[in-house]
């Protein structure tokens, strides 16, 4: 069964460093998303992406964040200058088309900022 | 105001019993979708069930059913015949405008513990 994959599974970085989290959505999906979950808290929406542009973003998704689909398969989230409070699990998700309701989540990348 | 409210931080149930996890939502959008996800201790998010605001019947998926009460703005998840493997965190979520590309708004979750 097709699935969303994410790499790495765990990333440790120092405050102020740039990180890139990578996702490979399901191949025929058109809509892509990033969410984050601070340990023990609820899942929060960051951004959605369609047709090579951001379709919606939350207040969390400030200028420190950017997303890109550099080729036909990868979808990346970049954090330019990490802060301690960026430590969280980051989930990538994808959905098939306009009519699809299910968002398929990847296994997540745990980001630890020290 | 919270868009999604899950008032039960933890629920305990014995194997083979049914359990109801509560969820209330708040939206003025007539078109919305309601979702339940399961998050085991391994951390992944597993889609369980979906209910559209215009759906006439309550959604069911195997042992999962969604008790949708539109006037009360509630979307409770019912798990019948609980199994040990059901022990996990359960999140209720809503999508306003109910169209692709729209954010899922999650509740704080309910931890379900199933004992033998």
Q: Is the pLDDT of residue B8 over 90?
A: yes
Contact residues, chain B, for A108 at CB < 8 Å: 43-45
Q: Is the pLDDT of residue B102 over 80?
A: yes
Nearest CA in chain A to B104: A45
- Verify whether the Cβ–Cβ distance B37 to A105 is below 8 Å: yes
Instruction: Please state, in angstroms and rounded to a whole number, the distance separating the CA atoms of residues B107 and B1.
Output: 12
pLDDT in tens, A6-44: 999 999 999 999 999 999 999 989 999 999 999 988 999
Q: Is the pLDDT of residue A1 over 80?
A: no
Residue B2 is predicted with a pLDDT of 75
Contact residues, chain B, for A44 at CB < 8 Å: 106
Q: Is the pLDDT of residue B1 over 70?
A: no
Exposed/middle/buried for A84, CB within 10 Å: 0-12, 13-18, 19+? Answer: exposed
pLDDT band (50, 70, 90) for residue B20: very high
Q: Is the pLDDT of residue A84 over 70?
A: yes
pLDDT in tens, B26-45: 999 999 999 999 999 988 99
Contact residues, chain A, for B52 at CB < 8 Å: 101
């Amino acid at each position: 069964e097709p699935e969303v994959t994410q790499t790495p599974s765990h990333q440790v970085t120092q405050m102020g460093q740039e990180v890139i989290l990578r996702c490979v959505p399901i191949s025929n999906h058109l809509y892509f998303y990033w969410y984050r979950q601070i340990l023990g808290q609820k899942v929060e929406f960051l951004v959605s992406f369609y047709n090579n542009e951001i379709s919606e973003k939350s207040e969390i998704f400030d200028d420190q964040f950017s997303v890109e689909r550099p080729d036909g398969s990868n979808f990346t989230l970049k954090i330019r200058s990490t802060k301690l409070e960026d430590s969280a699990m980051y989930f990538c998700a994808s959905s098939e088309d306009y009519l699809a309701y299910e968002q398929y989540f990847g296994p997540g990348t745990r980001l630890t900022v020290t | 105001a919270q868009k999604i409210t899950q008032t039960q931080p933890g629920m305990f149930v014995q194997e083979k019993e049914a359990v109801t996890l509560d969820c209330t939502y708040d939206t003025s959008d007539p078109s919305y979708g309601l979702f339940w996800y399961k998050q085991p201790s391994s951390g992944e998010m597993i889609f369980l069930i979906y209910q559209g605001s215009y759906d006439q019947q309550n959604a069911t998926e195997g042992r999962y059913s969604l008790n949708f009460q539109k006037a009360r703005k509630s979307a409770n998840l019912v798990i019948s015949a609980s199994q040990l493997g059901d022990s996990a965190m359960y999140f209720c979520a809503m999508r306003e405008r109910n169209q692709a590309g729209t954010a899922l708004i999650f509740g704080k979750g309910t931890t379900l513990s199933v004992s033998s």
